Amino acid sequence: MKQEIILNILKETESGYDLVADKFSHTRKNFWGDLAFIADYIHDGDKILDYGCGNGRLLEILKDKKIEYVGVDVSQKLIDLAKVKYPEHVASISKITSQASLAFPADFFNRIVSVAVFHHFPKEHAGDITKELFRITKPGGTVVITAWNLWQKKRRKDIFNFPAFFGKIFQSGKYRGFGLGDIFIPFQINQGEVFNRYHRMYTTKSLSNIFQSAGFEIEKCFLASGKNIILIARKK
């Protein structure tokens, strides 16, 4: 995918989540129960980055942990909501840009968690972000990544509906530069508006390959309840 198209996708994702922040956060008041096992990978004394923290809901399953928490997200409105919800972490929650660079020193975090973020990245950008996560992870540190498993029956309409299929075949309209694994999934906004969110349809293999290429050692990568791809990787 060309860089100009990637940059446009990232820009629209950032502005789109600002637009839907209140409704999106309301539908995600609590952390998903089937991902609560992530807390088992976080230990007292850890310095943890919550990459794509949204409204900060990961903190719900970490409340009994004695950790140094940092949360970042591209949406300023979601960051604002996180600060209201978790005032004790105001100083450690901040907005970042969509660019593949993070203002942290090398070997800084020993745990990085990213929940439901990577499926918003075209594969080229995902590769760049993963290299940056590798840079800021301490040797021996662990990353826990989740992405939606979009190769599901209910998502076939997003791949094979006529406008999408036609647009990808003829490289036209909003589908210019898209491949089969690049899709839009609509999020209904109040007053009938729709935020067409870009998604990349990763598999356990394709996501693992990205992290391996960045230098991570894959400990496991699997489907949880058929809905989420879970990747656990370590920096040697």
| C-alpha closest to that of 180 among 196, 161, 153, 207 | 161
User: Tens of pLDDT along 91-150?
Assistant: 999 999 999 999 999 999 999 999 999 999 999 999 999 999 999 999 999 999 999 999
Cα–chain center distance at 45 = 24
Per the rule left: phi > 0, alpha: psi between -120 and 50, beta: everything else, 51 is beta
The answer to whether 141 and 135 are in contact (CB under 8 A) is: no
pLDDT number for residue 225? 83
Cα dihedral 186→162→6→228 (10° resolution):
50
The answer to whether 110 and 141 are in contact (CB under 8 A) is: yes
Side-chain-side CA neighbours of residue 81 (13 Å): 22
Cβ atoms within 10 Å, residue 71: 25
User: Tens of pLDDT along 154-194?
Assistant: 777 777 788 888 898 889 989 999 998 999 998 887 666 78
This prediction's pTM: 0.94
Gyration radius of the chain over CA positions: 17
3-class secondary-structure state, position 220:
strand
d(CA 125, CA 131): 10
CATH number for domain 3-151+200-234, candidates 3.60.15.10, 3.40.50.150, 2.60.120.10, 3.40.190.10 = 3.40.50.150
